Structure 1
Amino acid sequence: MDIKALATEMDRIVTQGAIVDAVKQFFAEDATTSDYNNLTTKNKAQMVEKMEGFANSIKKVNGITHHHTIVDGNVSASEFTFDFEMTDNSTIFWHEIIRRIWNNDGQVIQEEYFNA
């Protein structure tokens, strides 16, 4: 598997704002996630549900900037800045690193978010 090509494609989809689509396309059924707020998901279905809820709470995307992606073996790390206006009139400005572990089938089996 060409993890660099897969990570690049996933990051391209995320940059377009299609975060739910990226999860649906690239996550293994048993993929887990965790973030710096101690929120976890135990499988793809939970992550899709979490991302659909999040996406539906975005009123306006001010910007999604992909800065870098590095790949080492079956691990990728992507740096993003997300700038959103939410439906509750709050704003989100995240600068984060997303670390992904990929399986031999080219699917994400673990994703973890780090506050940059």
Structure 2
Amino acid sequence: MIASLMPGARAVLRRITDLGGTASFDEVQQYFADHPTTPITKPRIGGALTSIPAVQRRVGPAGSSRLLQRDERARLYHIDQVLVEGLRQAFAIADARPDLLRGDPTARAT
């Protein structure tokens, strides 16, 4: 699933994972507003967060629970603790083998 995400959504998911699996919308937004390598403007951060569940529905197993959960009242995003460790391992593999990740989002495989 991580490889299917656009680079911005992947960076957001990684940030939430690095924070232990829970982060507020504002924390995520502020972190990426002036990020040196992966800046995401304030209007686009919501799209990056929305694309994570969209990708999971498309490539994840049928009937699986949502990876990224959201509490609208508190504006918190949460990943179940049992999934955080798996995501950390996946990101470690991605660091070691960046060729496994989606590159240019406009490139098409032929």
Q: TM-score, normalised by structure 2?
A: 0.30
Q: TM-score, normalised by structure 1?
A: 0.29
